[in-house]
Structure 1
Amino acid sequence: MPSSRLLALLGLLMLCKGQEETGSGESCDNFTDLNLSHCFMGTSLYVRLLLYTRSNLDCGREINHRRLASQPLLNLSRPTAFVIHGYRPTGAPPIWINHIVHLLAEQEDLNVIVVDWNKGAANLNYFTAVTYTREAAYNLTGFIMKMEEEGASLSSIHLIGVSLGAHLAGFIGANLKGKIGRITGLDPAGPMFTSATPEERLDPTDAMFVDVLHTDMDSFGLRGAHGHIDFYANGGVDQPGCPKTIFAGKSYFVCDHQRSVFLYLCSLNRTCSLTGYPCSSYSDFLEGRCLQCEAFRPASCPLLGYDLGPWRETLLRLRQTKAFFSTTATLPYRKMSYRVDMVTWNQYLRWGVVYIRLHSGRNFTEARTDHQLLRFEQYTSTRLLAQFDEELQHVHKISMRISTGNVIGPRYKIRLLRIRFTPLERPLRPLMCRFDIIMEENMEVAFRPLPCNSRL
């Protein structure tokens, strides 16, 4: 492993390569915009750092790497977030750059530095871009060491890496012996990293705290767990609303992978809340086995996003945590989740799936627990997770159907001694209950929910 002094020298040499002084005028420095011709010919690595603060959110300033003091907007007493993009096969700037800059600035008073390594990432040969991640990491390592020399604290630095940029962030963290405050990996790239050792990819030792979001593990994303907490949206594969056939064109290839960025942007918006439920697998989560979050009391289940402070100590103690959640296909992505507990009393053993509708006036939303067959037998407690695409403020009626697949012969009755609905993301809302319901298989039954401390 190269010494710290050598790393700094290598980094500064690469940072200076092709660098031009930023003028004192009012012109803005924009992200490098390339096209397919550059990608066909191939690009050589050239890293630019664009600084944004609350005073210049719409006008980036390219940092002079050799003289940090010459950039008056760069206040090293503030926390600094580096945003690192990934592979750019078309050479176009990421469409989400301006959004993430503004949303990060809303979290706290930050230096937001956009790492523009489009020259290097824009190559039709993906393997060339992968090779450049190591060089770019030395580049940024030298710059961050210069920041530290000028008074910045490594613990106040947050690297946010997308796809290939997540591994680039990990390499920087490893170069700095894991002293970086935090690394966030948004669907770390899978190709060329699937069989990599921890030293060859992002891993929890690369920073004091590492959080990862997975959305495309069966294609462009990396399988497994690689942070102190790994969030898996919809199990980490096949995001709702993304095309299922190649006839959709480019979107078929990139939609699942890009969803990680849009979910993270959504989480930075204070009106969007995505709760992750610690669990061993997505199937266990869907079956309602992981909805308590006892390890995180008195805090609730961890939320995806920028502020993981309430859960950080617990997550560091647990070392590696997997957290699962489901989303809708569109903004604000959040589903309304209920834990449904039923006590059944029926003479014959039946297997089936449950369909639940919540009604509010003429509006309704439906949840289908058709990923598993539930067992209904005499005096048995059954728990399931019901997730609804819409949030209804006042539920006036609930309708249910238990589908057993029985299409011939008599319909058997299923008696529910009690059914209780517990809202998971809205703990201040009252629990809804109903007692002693007779259901006929494959037939819908509607009822008015009651407070759980009352009986008919």
Structure 2
Amino acid sequence: SMFLWQYLTPVLLITVQICKALKCEEFTDLDFRHAFIGTSLRVKLLLYTRENVSCGLLMSHTDLSATPQFNASRPTTFIIHGFRPTGSPQRDMNVIVVDWNRGAANVNYFKAKENTIKAGENLTAFVEVMQNSGASLSSIHLIGISLGAHVSGFIGAHFNASIGRITALDAAGPLFTGTSPEHRLDPTDAQFVDVLHTDIDALGFREALGHIDFYANGGTDQPGCPPTVFSGGAYFKCDHQRSVFLYMESLKRTCPIRAYPCSSYNDFLDGNCWNCGPDGCPIFGYGIIEKKDVIQKMQQIKAYFKTNSQSPFCMTSYRVYIVTWNQEVRFGYITIKLSGTSKEAVATIDHRASKFKKFTETTMLAHFDADPESPVNKVSLTFTTGNVFKPPYKLRVLRLRLTPIETNQRSLCRYDFILEENQKKTFRPIPCEDTDF
């Protein structure tokens, strides 16, 4: 799978390399002026294979023999809008970058949406040409970004769900939300449709569109992206584009992002959805196709995960159990720092105040920004309430237990200690007694 990272990622990236030996085609570079004038739709197909790793070959829409590097018996992945291409294919497959910039670069979004239908028709005709040359529809994978997700849906619908896979990266929301399935991407458009949502409150589509829909950080504000509109264009683009970077990260497979099927993001944050049964929790990204059969047996799945603000995006999850013996009920937030042999990891549980009631176990889900790596030899806890005007609380803890979710390592415990508000408490954890389970 490292080869996939080396293979598809650069194709999803922005630079263009020029190769002297072959006539290399460049991605249409349009400036803001074109967007205002409006450009008529023109679709270019740029082929990358193991033989031409950094040079996009312009393909004929009707004559595949004009590009001998294209082999119809290989699997083919289309990337539909739209970062600019450069590639280093390792695996024997065709990657076709679809450049419909002349139809998408339009300040008039209504026009760009209209062009998705035309781009879909254009590409459908090309897939028919491939099919006539012996290409198998089930080995075709369409990766659609934003408007390109719906273009992929239009192509898939034409072939009655026989295309192997569609991956939608933050499918466009405006003008598609609320429309019937035939006017947008839906699960009947391919044998397997996987979707990532990163900007459902602005440019992205809110509802489920595939067999499995992943919502990164709830699908709205991505960490590290500007939180307000005052940052200008970055505010609109950052959340939307994060979908591509998360997908590229999944190709590496070095830092898997585990997702949790759940009824809502809040339910997930509350720790109500960590148990995925015998098949385990799905790993987001390119490899999710391996769970296709399990996923298709269920109804549309919504799965949630949290990420860091930059690569590596994956986090490490622990269940946290605290039993207190305060007379009165206390509410507050917990920050935990774990120190392993070479790394530190921090988690703050602050999406809402946790309730601590005498002799009642409080369960929380902690997402750490890194894997602290076993053995964890130091734990620091901080308890805060956010109350500025009240005297500081003390939380009397009878038992703390930290259980890693993704590994079978033994839980860490600590018994009988006092947490003073806003004061960091540091200690060596001990392995839990089995009776604590």
Q: TM-score, normalised by structure 1?
A: 0.85
Pairing 1:322–2:302 present: yes
Q: What one-letter code is carried by the residue in structure 1 that aligns with 2:186? A: D
Task: Give the Cα–Cα distance (whole angstroms) in 1 for the partners of residues 286 and 119 of structure 2.
Answer: 25
Structure 1 residues 368-399: Cα deviation after superposition (integer angstroms, max 9, x where no partner): 21111222122212211111223322422112
Q: 1:261/1:69 Cα in 2 relative to 1: closer, same or farther (>3 Å)?
A: same
Aligned to 1:31, the other structure's residue is in SS state coil
CA distance in 2, matches of 1:37, 1:440: 60
User: Which residue of the other structure, out of 244, 248, 252, is the alignment partner of 2:231?
Assistant: 248
2:417 aligned with 1:421: no
Report the CA distance shift for 1:62/1:340 in structure 2 as closer, same or farther (over 3 A).
same
Q: Does 1:397 align with 2:369?
A: no
Kindly indicate whether residue 367 of structure 2 is the aligned counterpart of residue 387 of structure 1.
yes
- State the AA in 2 paired with 1:229: I
Q: Which residue does the alignment assign to 2:129?
A: 146
| Amino acid of the structure 1 residue aligned with 2:269 | L
User: Contact between 1:213 and 1:260, CA under 8 Å: does it hold in 2?
Assistant: yes
Distance 2:394 2:29 in 1: 66
For structure 2, the residue ranges without an aligned partner over 5 or more in a row are 1-19
Equivalent residue number for residue 432 of structure 1: 412
- The residue number in structure 1 matching 2:338 is 358
- Once the two structures are overlaid, the 10-residue window that deviates more, 380-389 or 111-120, is 380-389
1:367 aligned to which of 333, 347, 360? 347
SS of residue paired to 1:374? strand
Mapped partners of 1:420, 1:148: distance in 2: 58
Q: By how many angstroms is 1:300 displaced? A: 2.6
1: CA distance, partners of 2:341 / 2:94: 48
SS at match of 1:371: strand
Deviation at 1:444, TM superposition (A): 3.2
Partner of 1:72: 68
The letter for the 1-side match of 2:397 is R
Tell me the equivalent position of 2:101.
118
The residue number in structure 2 matching 1:61 is 57
SS at match of 1:199: helix
**Matched residue, 1:37:** 33
Alignment gaps of 5+ in structure 1: 1-23, 87-93
* 1:12-48 Cα shifts (integer Å, max 9, x gaps): xxxxxxxxxxxx9622122112222222222111111
Confirm or deny: 8 A CA contact 1:76 1:152 kept in the other structure. Answer: yes
Offset at 1:347?
Answer: 2.9
- CA gap 1:26/1:448 in 2 versus in 1, 3 angstroms: same
Aligned with residue 149 of structure 2, among 153, 166, 180: 166
Q: Take 2:64 and 2:210, find their aligned partners in 1: how far apart are those partners?
A: 32
User: Which has the larger displacement, 336-345 or 368-377?
Assistant: 336-345
Aligned residues: 415
Q: CA deviation at 1:363?
A: 6.4
1:3 maps to which residue?
Answer: none
Query: Aligned partners of 2:397, 2:310: CA distance in 1, in Å?
Result: 37
**1:178 aligned residue:** 161
Which aligned pairs between 1:185-264 and structure 2 lie closer than 5 A? 185-264=168-247
Q: Distance in 2 between matches of 1:73 and 1:346?
A: 72
Q: Residues of 1 paired with 2:360 and 2:269: CA distance? A: 19
Q: What is the alpha-carbon distance in structure 1 between the residues aligned to residue 343 and residue 268 of structure 2? A: 28
Range 318-327 or range 69-78, more displaced:
69-78
Cα drift, residue 410 of structure 1: 7.8
Offset, 1:71: 2.1
Aligned-residue offset at 1:116: 0.9
> In structure 1, what residue type is equivalent to 2:384?
S
User: For the Cα contact (< 8 Å) 1:416–1:439, is it kept in 2?
Assistant: no
Cα distance in 1 for residues equivalent to 2:29 and 2:391? 68
Equivalent residues of 2:324, 2:395 under 8 A apart: no
Q: Following TM superposition, by how much is the alpha carbon of 1:405 offset from its aligned partner in structure 2, in angstroms? A: 4.9
RMSD (Å), alpha carbons: 2.3
Conserved? CA contact 2:222–2:239, under 8 Å: yes
TM-score where L is the length of structure 2: 0.89
Q: 1:240 to 1:376 in 2, by over 3 A?
A: same
User: Who is 1:15 aligned against?
Assistant: none
- The amino acid that maps onto 1:449 is P
The 10-residue stretch of structure 1 (441-450 or 377-386) with the greater mean CA deviation from structure 2: 441-450
